[in-house]
Structure 1
Amino acid sequence: MLNAHSLNQDYLSWLDSNTTFEQLGPGTVRIDSPFTDAIDDEIVMYALQQSDNMILLTDDGWTLNNLAAHGITFSRPSHRQKLFHNQLVAYGVQLSDGDLVVHSDRRHFAEAKHRLLQAILFINDMFTLAPTEAAPIFLEDVAHFLTENNIRTNQNMAYVGESGLIHKFDFSIPGINQIPAKLIKVLSSANNSLLAKATLADIEQTRPIVPGPTKFYVFLNDTPSKHKSINPDILSLFRLNQIVPLLYSRRTNYLTDLTR
């Protein structure tokens, strides 16, 4: 039988063995992650020594340059720009001359690297599929669905998992009495298997430390405009680990479950 704990350990081992660190020069390390961006290039970060104990982590401007190549920019005041900056704040990431950066001491390096990677993944997932200002962003679609059905949520809830890393959830619905709390993640690139595995790891790291009964959901973007169906292996991955894969095209079918 598939075991959630062993699957989580397998994922963390895979992540460790497929992340490489290369010394580029004094005080400069290149970090290649196994995750890819919207054009299937590996996501790369750099660690720059700032002092004996301080490190600057940066994407060297790659994330925003890549989005700009797809016609997506955040230079003009807009709702999209506001959402972008709000998400950076949620991940504890700063924007510096077009670079996504995180400052960290040596002790918190792993947690800082994880936050920057999660922010890059989120930004690629949320914005690359919306090439015009008028195009909807899936996170906003989900937020509107919850609001119009009077489902009260908190956004950008973060938990420190067993490994000491921070795991962010896009929405949370508080529980009461015998009604479990609900933690929700949103995947726009619903067929990205690596992102699905990262989502599973986030949930499995969070599950043991949440207070009280909690159910986990993943909203998956399968809207008709995408002309796609979700890979059944991804659906099985979530279901076998007691995570509800919530297809957005069938979202109204889950209203009763989300409101109780």
Structure 2
Amino acid sequence: MQSKSQLVTSIEAFYARHHYWTPTNEKVTRIETPFVNRHRDTVIFYVVQETKQGLKLTDGGYTLDDLEGEGCFSSRSPQQLQLLTGQIERRGVSFDSESHEIFLRTSTQDYARHQIQLLHTLLFIEDLFSATAFQHDGPFIDQVHDFLTSVKRHITAQPTLADSSNQTRYADFVVVSSEHGPAKLIWTMNNADNRSYAAAIIIEKCQIQSQHANTEFYVMINDEAPVAEDVIQILKAEDITPVLFSKRYEHVAQLTGQANWDEPEC
């Protein structure tokens, strides 16, 4: 297991070493990334050269078509479309409602940072709409929001933060501490077996902490399905506290600074 400093410094080399470029025609290149989806297939996107310096990075519609084919996502659901478009837009990525493409446009100069931006968005969207996301009380990310607002007034949903290179990084929530205590930055993880998304969260965290030293990091995990123990251990090794959603009230004092809190009766 790499230390945090080693992980931060090796990110660019990691991407360079494990991306595989396959030209499909004169203007389209297929990129195989070092991450896998829930099927254990390589996450792929395409680079389309639209002008001499202009590039389009796209998943070709695969991510949402695959989710819809398995009944995890419905393009006919206003609720799901609203959730999708809101999350994609805040990440600076676009969505084509006809082709289901998730894409962004960039230049050859900015390609490196935008490929990471698109890739992390694809991993996030797959996790957001995984099979258990809409059971019971609505989307898991909304359940986490409802829990946090019930125990702490001062939270910010969908925060964006800058890293040391002034690149935008993303989390799902930040809990603002009183006085001079640390802020709590929180991600949600709907698929508890999603190792690639766990890795993406770690990368985001390692980049964020260089500019936000007085911050603690958490991942709220949907544990309706069994949670992969190695995912828990990977997060802990990088100083990220995993919180199983079924045990969320055990962490209220840690998250909010409130010494006593009783779990509400069902």
- Quote the RMSD (CA, aligned, Å): 2.3
Counterpart in the other structure of 2:108 = 106
Please say if residues 181 and 213 of structure 1, whose CA atoms lie closer than 8 Å, have aligned partners that are also in contact: yes
Counterpart in the other structure of 2:188 = 186
Q: Which digits, 9 at most, give the CA deviation of each residue in 1:200-254, with x for residues without a partner?
A: 11101110112x611111112223xx2x1441x3323222322211121211011
List alignment gaps of at least 5 residues for structure 2: 258-266
Superposition deviation, residue 194 in structure 1? 2.5
Q: Does 1:213 align with 2:214?
A: yes
* Aligned with residue 149 of structure 1, among 116, 137, 151: 151
SS in 1 for 2:205: helix
The CA distance in 2 between the partners of 1:133 and 1:81, in whole Å, is 17
* Aligned with residue 244 of structure 1, among 233, 238, 241: 241
Please say if residues 80 and 133 of structure 1, whose CA atoms lie closer than 8 Å, have aligned partners that are also in contact: no
Please say if residues 174 and 185 of structure 2, whose CA atoms lie closer than 8 Å, have aligned partners that are also in contact: yes
Counterpart in the other structure of 1:204 = 206
Tell me the TM-score normalised to structure 1 length.
Answer: 0.88
The CA distance in 2 between the partners of 1:133 and 1:26, in whole Å, is 45
Q: Which moved more, 1:79-88 or 1:105-114?
A: 105-114
Counterpart in the other structure of 1:44 = 44
SS in 1 for 2:39: coil
Give the partner amino acid of 1:218.
V
The CA distance in 2 between the partners of 1:190 and 1:9, in whole Å, is 27
The CA distance in 2 between the partners of 1:81 and 1:123, in whole Å, is 12
SS in 2 for 1:182: strand
Give the partner amino acid of 1:240.
A
Please say if residues 110 and 165 of structure 1, whose CA atoms lie closer than 8 Å, have aligned partners that are also in contact: no
Superposition deviation, residue 132 in structure 1? 6.5
Tell me the TM-score normalised to structure 2 length.
Answer: 0.86
SS in 2 for 1:209: coil
Q: Indicate how the Cα distance of structure 1 residues 162 and 58 shifts in structure 2: closer, same or farther if over 3 A, else same.
A: same
SS in 2 for 1:44: strand
Q: Which digits, 9 at most, give the CA deviation of each residue in 1:36-77, with x for residues without a partner?
A: 223222211111111122111111111121012112444335
Q: Which moved more, 1:84-93 or 1:22-31?
A: 22-31
Structure 1 vs Structure 2: percent identity of aligned residues? 25
SS in 2 for 1:76: coil
Please say if residues 161 and 209 of structure 1, whose CA atoms lie closer than 8 Å, have aligned partners that are also in contact: yes
Q: Which digits, 9 at most, give the CA deviation of each residue in 1:132-182, with x for residues without a partner?
A: 686732212211111222343212222232355432101012234321111
List alignment gaps of at least 5 residues for structure 1: none
Superposition deviation, residue 10 in structure 1? 4.6
Please say if residues 137 and 143 of structure 2, whose CA atoms lie closer than 8 Å, have aligned partners that are also in contact: no
Counterpart in the other structure of 2:122 = 120
